Amino acid sequence: MNRAAVTEKILSAKRLKKLTWKTICAEIGGGSPTYVTAGLLGQMKLRPEQAERAAKLLGLGEEETLLLQEVPYRGSLPTAVPTDPLIYRFYELVNVYGTTWKELIQEEFGDGIMSAIDFDMTIERLPDQKGDRVKVTMSGKFLTYKEY
């Protein structure tokens, strides 16, 4: 058994039980929907109580439940440049606006980075008469480079 196989089993159970990520995250609880979904997709680890609730909801066995609690090997994209159109748009945003984000963040905060570990993200649907919009809000702790 490996983590990729657990992810496939989770996706299959979600499909067969006609569950949404929103429903799954509410049942599992104990973390943001982004974090819990990432955990179920193999990019984060779940706490034991979260893993147990996920196992019950999704019909996972003991080894699969333990795998949900292990620190994963992160990075799930199969290629350096993503080919999925939705994921590619985020790649495109970084290519077009990455240097702008870097300049504006470092002008405001100094020489450092935004943490992807101490990090929150929400995804919202914004109704619009021209077509609904996707709002992604990211908030990461600023980490200053230190001189030694």
Q: DSSP class of residue 115?
A: E
Helices (H), the chain: 3-16, 21-28, 33-40, 48-58, 62-67, 85-109
pTM for the model stands at 0.83
In the chain, which ranges are E strands? 112-126, 133-144
pLDDT digit string (tens) for the chain, length 148 residues: 999 999 999 999 999 999 999 999 999 988 899 999 999 999 999 999 999 999 999 999 999 999 999 999 888 887 889 999 999 999 999 999 998 999 999 999 999 999 999 999 999 999 999 999 999 999 999 999 988 8
- What tokens appear for 83 in the block? 């080919």
Topology of domain 85-144, CATH: Cyanate Lyase; Chain: A, domain 2 (3.30.1160)
| Sequence spans of domains, the chain | 3-67, 85-144
Q: Which CATH number fits domain 3-67: 1.10.260.40, 1.10.150.530, 1.10.101.10, 3.30.70.100?
A: 1.10.260.40
Distance of CA 14 to the CA centre of its chain: 17
Catalytic residues: 89, 92, 115
